[in-house]
Amino acid sequence: MVDYAMLSDFPDHFPPRPNRVHEVCGPNAFGFAFALAGHLRGSVLWVREAWQADQINPAGFSPYVDPHSLLIAKGNDQTEVLASAEEALRSGAVALTVIELTKPIGLTAGRRLQLAAEAGQSMGLCIVPEGTGSNAVETRWHCTSVFDPTDSTLQRWELIKNKSGTLTAWDVRWNAEARRIIVVSKARERPVP
Amino acid sequence: MPKRVVSLWFPRLASDRFLRARPIDAPFALTQRQSNTQRLYCLNLLATQQGLQRGMGHSDARAFCPDLQSHPADLVGDQRFLHVLARWAKRYCPWVGFEGVDGLVLDITGAAHLFGGEATLLHDIHQRLARAGLLVKSGVADTRGAAWAFAHHGTGEAIQAQPLDAIGRLPVAALRLEEKVCVGLQRLGVRFVCDLSALPRATVTRRFGSEVLLRLDQALGTQAESISPLPNPSRYRVRLSLPDPIGLEADVMAGTARLLDQLCGKLKGREMGARVLLLTLRRVDKANQQIELRLACAMRDPLRILPLFERGVGQIDAGFGIDQLHLAATLVEPLPVQQMSHAHGRVDGRLDDLITRIGNRIGLENVQRFLPADSHIPERSYIIAPAAYSDPAGPWVNLRERPIQLFPPEPIMGAGPSPPAFLRWRRMTFRVERATGPERIAPEWWLSDENWRSGVRDYWKVETKQGRRLWLFYTPQNPGWFVQGQFA
């Protein structure tokens, strides 16, 4: 079980370490990816397999990131997805490469992505199914939406793997006016009497 | 061998072109805006028979002929069509030029016998153009000027005689003179070409300038006149033959670099950019290896293109060696030189290069971007376009909150128009804590969409105790509940 950390350490962990590949899982992994893409303020390449029926909806994510700065690459299988992602990370032309993975990847593939990110000075984010993940990643996040009677953007972001730090969890919400993620204080968490 | 020239005149080129695509059995005219009035630009036969003429005001013409149908003229399209005709006319002779905006001139010297003589050739031209729905008048003579005169003012028959005897009976307007000069000559009683040639040259020049006699001389053949043919389409291909075969990757890349320098110089000179490049490597055993490079944007910068070849060259099997390299730009686009500016424009081409690299691996059309579309239907509020062939444009308008993920609608259990208190979706059970809605979205009746056959939809945003925030809809006309999206 993880503890709630001091609020002030959130900026140390988010955005996660640059020039590395990170992972995110959980029901709200897409929300995390868009929040991160909006935070990095650059162009985004979203790599996924072509057969997937779920679509990301530009009308929905436009508050987070400008849909014009997002490109999608659709590969036929996971090998093509990984190859395209490596190419994008190595070129450094995009600030963030989001990789949707449907199957667990091995240590070799994970390490190759990591090396490509370091060479191209850009960040990668793998969206993985829950319970899978590569050991080569820098951090792994678990994101869920949380019901709140007064706020419909409350989420819990848990750091479930961290190569260079401790594991922590935060309750965050999306501030629509400021267009950024803000941390909810623990006092705010208590039920209203 | 005397020169023989055919002049073709298409008196109704613009309207014939339009009516070829959309036949209209009524008086028809193309209109053009000239000095703030719509004027008739080109008419069909029925409109001419009604007494309408070119240059007439459009409203006057409508008053004369109430059932006149009209359409705005497309001058650029007409020019393009004339280009097509000129290319077609190369079947008769290699030397084809333009005559104004509605004519062609063919130098058929030494080519007519291939079609069985001039008369047969002209008959063939007329027959083919008539089948294509084009009215054509033609003239054939020893000079361009005389051919023009026959096409515009003659009977349209091939005439072979002494130049002056042939065109002497034609009016002076047949000499390609300005309207003002023609009127001036007619006022002096000079109505026909033979009258003009009988006048002393010095007085004519003093009165009307040198152009009149120049045109007369050109028509009679004493003054030469050239026909400038269409330029051949440029070919962007370069070749490098090697005395000894090469096989190392670095050597092939060095050879490619040399070819690219040449090719890009050629492209730059014509302000074009390559879109698809084809590198052919001929091996010693005459087997060809080809590398196709499809670029995300038109390019002619060798330093940028060369690294994109690396992957393809790496996969080549050199066999016993490669002794010829052949590079061709198989698809080119206009790429005008641009003013460099710090104020706007792309920072650099790295993103385009990335699209090229990924596109050559997974297919250039699989790298896509979102463009806004004008629709209330959630799945049609955007379109997905290949990134290489589209530019980000248009504003994203969000009137209401939309989910970040859209699924094909997945049915769930539920009854009645208000959201169920409990729902099972994807083998998970949720308790609904708060539901926001309904937002009614009606199908677009002008498009037949299978998914919207069930009629209008009432959309609800549902927040569950378990956390997930789902987008449900209820179809009142065919009662049923579906999940279509998920919010952040």
Taking the Cβ of residue B379 and every Cβ of chain A, the question of whether any pair is shorter than 8 Å is answered with yes
Contact (CB<8Å) A62/B396: yes
**pLDDT tops 90 at residue A165:** no
Which chain A residues touch B393 with a CB distance below 8 Å? 68
The 3-state secondary structure of chain B, one letter per residue: CCCCEEEEECCCHHHHHHHHHCCCCCCEEEEEEECCEEEEEEECHHHHHCCCCCCCEHHHHHHHCCCCEEEECCHHHHHHHHHHHHHHHCCCCCCEEECCCCEEEEECCCCHHHHCCHHHHHHHHHHHHHHCCCCCEEEEECCHHHHHHHHHHCCCCCCCCCHHHHHCCCEHHHHCCCHHHHHHHHHCCCCEHHHHHHCCHHHHHHHHCCHHHHHHHHHHCCCCCCCCCCCCCCCCEEEEEEEEEECCHHHHHHHHHHHHHHHHHHHHHCCEEEEEEEEEEEECCCCEEEEEEEEEEEECCHHHHHHHCHHHHHCCCCCCCEEEEEEEEEEEEECCCCCCCCCCCCCCCHHHHHHHHHHHHHCHHHEEEEEECCCCCHHHCEEEEEHHHCCCCCCCCCCCCCCCEEEEEEEECCCCCCCCCEEEECCEEEEEEEEEEEEEECCCCCCCCHHHCCCCEEEEEEEECCCCEEEEEECCCCCCEEEEEECC
Chain A, window 141-170: residues with a beta carbon less than 8 angstroms from a chain B beta carbon: 144-147, 149, 152-153, 155
Q: Is A102 helix (H, G, I), strand (E, B) or coil?
A: coil
Q: Which CATH number fits domain B5-139: 3.40.1170.60, 1.10.10.10, 3.30.70.2190, 3.30.1330.10?
A: 3.40.1170.60
Taking the Cβ of residue B396 and every Cβ of chain A, the question of whether any pair is shorter than 8 Å is answered with yes
**pLDDT tops 60 at residue B160:** no
Superfamily of domain covering A7-184? P-loop containing nucleotide triphosphate hydrolases (3.40.50.300)
pLDDT value of position B385: 92
**pLDDT tops 80 at residue A28:** yes
Contact (CB<8Å) A93/B361: no
Confidence band for A3, pLDDT divided at 50, 70 and 90? very low
Cβ-based neighbours of B433, under 8 Å, separated by 6 or more? A147, A149, B463, B464, B465
Least confident of A160-164, B299-303, B346-350: B346-350
The sheet carrying B237-246 orders its strands as B237-246, B322-334, B272-283, B288-299
**CATH number 3.20.20.70 given to B237-334:** no
pLDDT value of position A73: 95
Q: Among A30, A49, A62, which would you mutate to test the B interface (most chain B Cβ atoms within 10 Å of its Cβ)? A: A62
Contact (CB<8Å) B366/A66: no
Inter-chain contacts counted by CB atoms under 8 A, chains A and B: 147
Contact (CB<8Å) A144/B467: yes
Average pLDDT of chain B is: 89
Contact (CB<8Å) A68/B369: yes
Report the residue from A56, A88, A147 with minimal CB separation from B354: A88
pLDDT value of position B228: 87
Closest residue on chain B to A87 (Cα): B358
For residue range B10-36, list pLDDT tens digits in order: 999 999 999 998 888 899 999 999 888
Domain boundaries, chain B: 5-139, 153-220, 237-334, 405-486
Confidence band for B161, pLDDT divided at 50, 70 and 90? low
For residue range B168-191, list pLDDT tens digits in order: 888 888 888 888 999 999 998 888
Contact (CB<8Å) B403/A57: yes
In chain B, % of residues over pLDDT 70: 96
Contact (CB<8Å) A84/B361: yes
Q: Which CATH number fits domain B153-220: 1.10.150, 1.10.8, 1.10.10, 3.40.50?
A: 1.10.150
Taking the Cβ of residue B370 and every Cβ of chain A, the question of whether any pair is shorter than 8 Å is answered with yes
Taking the Cβ of residue B299 and every Cβ of chain A, the question of whether any pair is shorter than 8 Å is answered with no
Domain boundaries, chain A: 7-184
pLDDT value of position A1: 39
ipTM confidence score: 0.89
Within 10 angstroms of residue B23's Cβ, the number of other Cβ atoms is 9
Taking the Cβ of residue B402 and every Cβ of chain A, the question of whether any pair is shorter than 8 Å is answered with yes
Taking the Cβ of residue A78 and every Cβ of chain B, the question of whether any pair is shorter than 8 Å is answered with no
Give A98 or B388, the one with higher predicted confidence: A98
Taking the Cβ of residue B63 and every Cβ of chain A, the question of whether any pair is shorter than 8 Å is answered with no
**pTM of the entire predicted model:** 0.68
For residue range B283-340, list pLDDT tens digits in order: 999 889 999 998 888 888 899 899 889 989 999 998 899 999 999 999 898 888 877 7
